[in-house]
Amino acid sequence: MTARLSISNLSKRFGPVIANDGVSLEIRPGELHCLLGENGAGKSTLSSCLYGLYQPDQGRIVIDGEERRFRSPADAIRASIGMVHQHFVLVPTFTVLENIVVGTGAGWRLDTRAARRRVSELCQRNGLQLNLDALVGDLSVGEQQWVEIVKALYLGARVLILDEPTAVLTPQESERLFTLLQQMTADGLSIILITHKMNEVMRSDRVTVLRRGRVVGTVETGSITREELTQMMIGRQLKQIEAEDRAGSGAPAVVTISAVSLRDARRVAVLDNLSLELRAGEVLGLAGVAGNGQRELFEAIAGVRRTERGEIRLDGKSVANLSAADIARRGVGYVPEDRFRDGLVPDLTIAENIVLGQQWQAPWRRGVLLDAARMREHAARSIADFSIATTGPGERIRRLSGGNAQKVILARELAKATRCLLCNQPTRGLDVGVIEYVHGQILRKRQDGVAILLASEELEDLMRLSDRIAVIFRGRIMGILPRHSASIALLGQMMAGTPLEQAA
Amino acid sequence: MWTDLLEAGIIVSVLAAAIRIATPILFTALGELVAERAGIYNMGLEGMMLMGAFAGWLGTYHSGSALVGIGAAVLAGLVMSLLFAFMVITLQIEQIVTGLALNLLASGLSTFWLRSAFSDVNKVPGISILQNAPIPLLADIPYLGAVLFDQRVVTYAALLAVPAVWLFLYRSRLGLEIRCIGENPKALDIKGHSVALRQYAAVLFGGAMAGLGGACLTVAATAHFVPDMVNGRGWLALVIVIAGGWSPGRVLAAALIFSFLDALQLQIQGVGIQIPYQLLLAMPYVAAILALMLRRKAGRAPTMLGMSYRRE
Amino acid sequence: MTLLAWSGWRIERRSGRSSFALVSALLSAGAGAVLCCALLFLAAGADPIAAFAALAKGSFGSTRAIADTLVRATPLILTGLATAIAFRARLWNIGAEGQVFAGAMFAFWCQSAIGAAPAYLQIPVIVLGSLCGGALFGALAGALKARFQVDEVIATVMLNYIIIYALSLLLQQGPWTEPGGFFEQTAMVPDQAKLPILIEKTRLHLGFVLALVLAAILHVVLHHSPLGYEIRAAGSNLRALQVQGVHAGRLILVVFALSGAIAGLAGAFEVYGVQYRLKSGTLGGLGYTGIIIAILGQLSPRAVVIAGLLFGALLNGSTLMQIRTGVPSALIYAIEAIILMFFLIAWAISQFRLRRLRDVD
């Protein structure tokens, strides 16, 4: 069988960093091919080269026996390659139809009638029910993904690249996605699935493992075990950290959240009569599909956002009139979800970022001015403690990688967190090594008796680290489970809105 | 004297003046509306109008034809906006800074040019300005005719530009693409289309319209060019786009409200009511601030407005 | 990012900036601006070399000329500093223009109240009055932004127009009208209210030294104080500060007040150091030129002083240039803008570099 797509000896470097180093790969017609690798292994760079977003420095791409060179996505689309990005590229204020047809067609007039017919056909053929006139912003995340897939098919894709497609889906939505993908491959489409989740990899036909920009190997999925694949991916045995069991739950509550409600700018409830208790020396896991109120809950506890009703108490005292700085001073550390948007100032140095928020406080002042020497000293210590890869305390945050930037936030927030630590997606997008490190730090804080709230999209991580797991859906808690009674299936049901009492 | 303002004849003349006065701002605001829908915040409008006013006046003076003058003004607007587009789209210089720089450039260049061409400030020649072109039959409708159908050609053009811009934005392929760029340029980029090219087009259109708007200030209103004669109208056009919620119909409404205020203050001075003229002249600027304070419900700005797009 | 690509070569954005790039940007901007000006001189029918010579002689040709250059530079340094400090926080205060007026007016109001008090009282009242006036008017724009989310660029531009009409009203029909005068201006200020002259037989006044001192203070504030830390942080990522509990609205208000106060000082120095009366025309344009100076000075107080001196020289020399060569002094405003454009473009281009691609096999 001739390959639909073959890549040979492709290399791409960014300055001194080699992202892809002599990558060769073949994709057959009608196959579901997995690209497996850690963050930073070069999966995204490879897919960007395939889609014409980057030009490779070296190597050739052959499609259906014909060599192609992609200068832009337009060339890739012409070669019938389609791509669904990890972060959807949609216009929320446009309708489904507008999102699909924008940038297609010919002539001056916007001809929606013919487009509507073709889109309906595509949906029907793949068994998708989409309201073409609904605003994309009103759709669920799962439906938005369908729009992305139809968008690619509408452009005539015969090879479809999906970049981490299940990161934001409930387990049930992922299930539907895989049914759809199998249907599409049966239809002759080739699919490249980029992922780091082992249970998804096992459903593919073949898998290519990347490590540090190189291909470790391509194997038939049926002929290999998860453990072997993991070893190929990270080059060593994975040592997974797991929280030890604690007896009983008699620890005192550090943070008590009672009946808290909050509405967003459009007056939609994002937190709805929500109650929780964070107890000393306990990790409370928070599971839920992104956008169900997690960010708001974290910000409400950290004092970044005011609640409308209900009360949050820290060590028995209401925090209603405290600013985020006051709350931090009472021993609360907050690791925000979007580290570059909420956690760091890119143009300031590491030393300056490590004292962010404490710039008026005594330890960093000498008279009315800032004590630069003291800040540098402190930063140098943190750099050593957290093994941050940098040229020194004077380096600007802008120049750090995601993992090192996250370590700067951890250095700052862990130092503050003497009573309570709030971690929203602390390991998203990080390398396995850094993830292990972060998890270790969280468990050390648990050992010290700090109350911890941990939200993560990786349910397996939650099940390993948490003492209890709460599931949030549309701003309400669907139920709280002790770690050992939780399962992926049960959490999935609850994440989709079934309360614990009704879930099977 | 205040009751004089309520006479039918006065009301008609205030309304007619409001529509006439709205012309330059309406052109400029409609052009800026398209540019902002493509995510580009053009704070150089004031300068583009100024160059338009100057080129319109100079072109008419040298050729004796208003049409040549208007053509020169459009060209001036295009040149200015090409420079702007190059700086903010290709070189990705901060949009606000670039706009301000262009305002200063326009102010300096037009004054210098005027002074070196006509060294005696008191002997700057005038041009003959466009006259009203009443539309046959329609102009004879009582009241309404005088308000709407006895105007200058440019005014008709500005009013017609409102539905034209609406049709373009909502019923053409390029219009959909431009709206897409203002919300999420990547969505168009990954379909293999150049975001920059479309932004250039939107900015050039905005520049041409601002040039046209500027020309109305000289070719269709006063016979002379005076340094810095735009006097904040470019900024008001920006306010009108915001107050008009980024939609052509409401931009028209906002422009008419502002020009009505302006026409009213002219009339108040005209009938001899004793109010210090400074208060009257400051009115539009105060109104602009109030409009922005109360804008809340007017509409949502394009998400990417003012941010340059760079593929990561 | 790829800007342009053709066979084998590509223009890319640099990851960092080299000082070589900055210096070459400045030099090429300077050369481009000089060339452009020469063309404008030719267009105006003058010999460029003679014009440049007249410009130089007018600004540096004698002690008096140098002193005058420093006098012209004083308000520009101040408005440049005012703009720089706000831009540093990514607050686009275009209102230095109006804040100059507000400072001058408030200082004049305060000083009129104490009438003929001795000089040691006059100067502090003038300085404090102008700081307060500018700060209040700046804070008004800040409040509009912080409280009502009014775009600060538009708000400050509108306020600039409004305050000019307000001054005109006060001067024309109001309490400040010069008795029996014809022009829109106040009467002369009393002698003891005039700023002391530093060098005899020149016009160099105390304000120049105060402007330099202020620049030094601002440098320290910006780089070594908690407030400066917040200003720089806000300019990079205000949101991260808010998450740490910094009240954004309060910071916006403080920055606008600070920026306005500095600009206000420029207004008072012009009135009490140069014109000795309050009138509209001579205060106009100082704020807008300050924007150019702030940008040329890379928003750094030290470099702003240098850019301010350069522009003071240009303005001062233009008078002699007009007398000697007949080139209208209005050219200076065009030149200022041209220098700014060249600088912006050269600076932006210095972020890109040409890179040779390895052969695509």
What are the extents of the domains in chain A?
5-234, 253-344+405-502
C-alpha to C-alpha distance for B250 and C219, rounded to whole angstroms:
47
- For residue C287, give the chain B residue with the closest CA: B104
pLDDT at C360: 38
C-alpha C18: how far from chain center = 27
Q: Does any domain span residue C175?
A: yes
User: What SS3 state is found at A191?
Assistant: strand
- Rounded to a whole number, what is the distance in Å from the CA of C43 to chain A's nearest CA? 44
Question: pLDDT tier at A70 (50, 70, 90 boundaries)?
Answer: very high
Cα three-residue angle A287-A288-A291, rounded to 5 degrees: 140
Backbone angles phi, psi at C327, to 5 degrees: -75, 125
Q: Does any domain span residue C111?
A: yes
Instruction: Give, for all 312 residues of chain B, the pLDDT tens digit.
Output: 667 777 888 889 999 999 999 999 999 999 999 999 999 999 999 999 999 999 999 999 999 999 999 999 999 999 999 999 999 999 999 999 999 999 999 999 999 889 888 877 777 888 888 888 888 888 888 888 888 898 999 999 999 999 999 999 999 999 999 999 999 999 999 999 999 999 999 999 999 999 999 999 999 988 889 988 999 999 999 999 999 999 999 999 999 999 999 999 888 888 878 888 889 999 999 999 999 998 766 678 899 998 888 876
Cα three-residue angle B86-B87-B92, rounded to 5 degrees: 110
Q: How far is CA B73 from CA A485, B51, B56, C101, in A?
A: 75, 7, 5, 34
Q: What is the mean pLDDT of residues A466-480?
A: 94
User: What SS3 state is found at B175?
Assistant: helix
DSSP H or E segment with residue C72:
helix C63-88
Half-sphere exposure of B88 (CA within 13 A, CB side): 31
| Strand partners of residue A313 | A256, A318
Where b means 16+ CB within 10 Å and e means fewer, B264-293 reads bbebbeeeeeeeeebebbbbbbbbbbebbe
C-alpha to C-alpha distance for C293 and C307, rounded to whole angstroms:
6
Choice among A64-73, C16-25, C341-350 with the minimum mean pLDDT: C16-25
Is pLDDT larger for residue C17 or for residue A470?
A: A470
- Rounded to a whole number, what is the distance in Å from the CA of B105 to chain C's nearest CA? 5
Task: Tell me the chain B residues in contact with residue A144 when contact means C-beta distances shorter than 8 Å.
Answer: none
- Answer for the pair A243, A284: CB distance below 8 angstroms, yes or no: no
Backbone angles phi, psi at A18, to 5 degrees: -95, 110
pLDDT at C355: 60
Question: pLDDT tier at A185 (50, 70, 90 boundaries)?
Answer: very high
Task: Tell me the chain A residues in contact with residue B184 when contact means C-beta distances shorter than 8 Å.
Answer: 89-91
Question: pLDDT tier at C2 (50, 70, 90 boundaries)?
Answer: very low
- Answer for the pair C266, C74: CB distance below 8 angstroms, yes or no: yes
pLDDT at C66 over 80: yes
- Residue C240 to residue A323, Cβ atoms within 8 A: no
Residue whose structure tokens are 């408005």:
C79
Q: What is the mean pLDDT of residues C141-163?
A: 95
All structural domains of chain B with their residue ranges: 2-295
Q: How far is CA C277 from CA C119, C192, C194, C268, C273, in A?
A: 17, 13, 10, 10, 9
pLDDT at A134 over 80: yes
Q: Which CATH class is domain A5-234?
A: alpha beta
- Rounded to a whole number, what is the distance in Å from the CA of C250 to chain A's nearest CA? 13
| Strand partners of residue A451 | A420
pLDDT at C144 over 50: yes
Contacts of C76 (CB under 8 A, 6+ apart): C266, C286, C289, C290, C293, C308, C311, C312, C315
pLDDT at C18: 66
Number of domains in chain C: 1
C-alpha to C-alpha distance for B240 and B32, rounded to whole angstroms:
10
Question: What token pair was written down for C185?
Answer: 């201006």
- Answer for the pair B88, B196: CB distance below 8 angstroms, yes or no: no
Residue whose structure tokens are 């101040």:
C78
Chain B contact for C191 (CB, 8 A cutoff): no
Q: Does any domain span residue C118?
A: yes
Cα three-residue angle A133-A135-A137, rounded to 5 degrees: 160
- Summarised one tens digit per residue, pLDDT across range A190-211 is 999 998 888 888 999 999 999 9
Q: What is the mean pLDDT of residues A47-56?
A: 92
Burial class (CB in 10 A: 0-12, 13-18, 19+), A330: middle
- Rounded to a whole number, what is the distance in Å from the CA of B312 to chain A's nearest CA? 9
- Residue A90 to residue B311, Cβ atoms within 8 A: no
- Rounded to a whole number, what is the distance in Å from the CA of B281 to chain A's nearest CA? 37
- Residue C244 to residue A328, Cβ atoms within 8 A: yes
- Rounded to a whole number, what is the distance in Å from the CA of C294 to chain B's nearest CA? 11
C-alpha to C-alpha distance for C287 and B39, rounded to whole angstroms:
28
Q: What is the mean pLDDT of residues C221-229?
A: 96
Q: Measured between CB atoms, which of C220, C230, C243 is closest to A304?
A: C243
What ipTM does the predicted assembly reach? Answer: 0.91
pLDDT at C153 over 60: yes
DSSP H or E segment with residue A83:
strand A81-84
Residue whose structure tokens are 């409370």:
A284
Chain C contact for B117 (CB, 8 A cutoff): no
Chain B contact for A110 (CB, 8 A cutoff): yes
Q: What is the mean pLDDT of chain A?
A: 91
Chains near C (3 or more Cβ pairs under 8 Å)? A, B
Nearest to B218 by CA among B49, B80, B63, B18: B49
- Rounded to a whole number, what is the distance in Å from the CA of A84 to chain B's nearest CA? 10
- For residue A89, give the chain B residue with the closest CA: B187
C-alpha B108: how far from chain center = 20
pLDDT at B297: 61
Question: pLDDT tier at A290 (50, 70, 90 boundaries)?
Answer: confident
Chain B contact for A150 (CB, 8 A cutoff): no
- Residue B278 to residue C148, Cβ atoms within 8 A: no
Chain B contact residues (CB < 8 Å to A): 171-177, 179-180, 183-184, 186-193, 300, 311
Q: What is the mean pLDDT of residues A223-232?
A: 88
Task: Tell me the chain B residues in contact with residue C326 when contact means C-beta distances shorter than 8 Å.
Answer: 119
Residue to mutate among C244, C246, C357, C359, with most A CBs inside 10 A, is C244
Chains A, B: CB pairs < 8 Å: 68
Chain C contact for A462 (CB, 8 A cutoff): no
- Answer for the pair C358, C40: CB distance below 8 angstroms, yes or no: no
Task: Tell me the chain B residues in contact with residue C151 when contact means C-beta distances shorter than 8 Å.
Answer: 242, 292
Task: Tell me the chain A residues in contact with residue C232 when contact means C-beta distances shorter than 8 Å.
Answer: 347-348
Q: What is the mean pLDDT of residues A20-27?
A: 93
Nearest to A273 by CA among A235, A325, A298, A309: A309
- For residue A372, give the chain C residue with the closest CA: C224
Chain B contact for C153 (CB, 8 A cutoff): yes
C-alpha to C-alpha distance for A470 and A453, rounded to whole angstroms:
10
Burial class (CB in 10 A: 0-12, 13-18, 19+), B55: buried
Whole-number percent of chain C with pLDDT over 70: 93
Topology alike, domains A5-234 and A253-344+405-502: yes
pLDDT at C8: 56
C-alpha to C-alpha distance for B138 and B152, rounded to whole angstroms:
14
Task: Tell me the chain C residues in contact with residue B96 when contact means C-beta distances shorter than 8 Å.
Answer: 92, 153
- Summarised one tens digit per residue, pLDDT across range C77-104 is 999 999 999 999 999 999 999 999 999 9
Question: pLDDT tier at A428 (50, 70, 90 boundaries)?
Answer: confident
CATH topology of domain B2-295: ABC transporter involved in vitamin B12 uptake, BtuC (1.10.3470)
Question: pLDDT tier at C3 (50, 70, 90 boundaries)?
Answer: very low
Q: What is the mean pLDDT of residues C156-177?
A: 91
pLDDT at C13 over 70: no
User: What SS3 state is found at A161?
Assistant: strand
Chains near A (3 or more Cβ pairs under 8 Å)? B, C
User: What SS3 state is found at B159?
Assistant: helix
- Answer for the pair A393, A350: CB distance below 8 angstroms, yes or no: yes
Q: Measured between CB atoms, which of B180, B192, B300 is closest to A102?
A: B180
- Rounded to a whole number, what is the distance in Å from the CA of C340 to chain B's nearest CA? 7
Model confidence pTM above 0.90: yes
pLDDT at A87: 87
pLDDT at C4 over 60: no
pLDDT at A248: 55
DSSP H or E segment with residue C165:
helix C152-172
Q: Measured between CB atoms, which of B90, B231, B289 is closest to C158?
A: B289
- Summarised one tens digit per residue, pLDDT across range A429-453 is 887 778 888 999 999 999 999 999 9
C-alpha to C-alpha distance for C16 and A431, rounded to whole angstroms:
25
Task: Tell me the chain C residues in contact with residue B239 when contact means C-beta distances shorter than 8 Å.
Answer: 154, 158
Nearest to A479 by CA among A308, A179, A275: A275
- Residue C334 to residue B111, Cβ atoms within 8 A: yes
* Dihedral over alpha carbons C29, C35, C38, C40 (to 10 degrees): -70
- For residue B186, give the chain A residue with the closest CA: A89
Chain A contact for C6 (CB, 8 A cutoff): no
Residue C188's domain comprises 75-294
- Summarised one tens digit per residue, pLDDT across range C348-361 is 888 776 665 544 33
Q: Which CATH class is domain A253-344+405-502?
A: alpha beta
Q: Measured between CB atoms, which of A74, A109, A110 is closest to B192?
A: A74
DSSP B302: P
Where b means 16+ CB within 10 Å and e means fewer, A119-157 reads beebbeebebebebeeebeebebbbbbbbbbbbbbbbeb
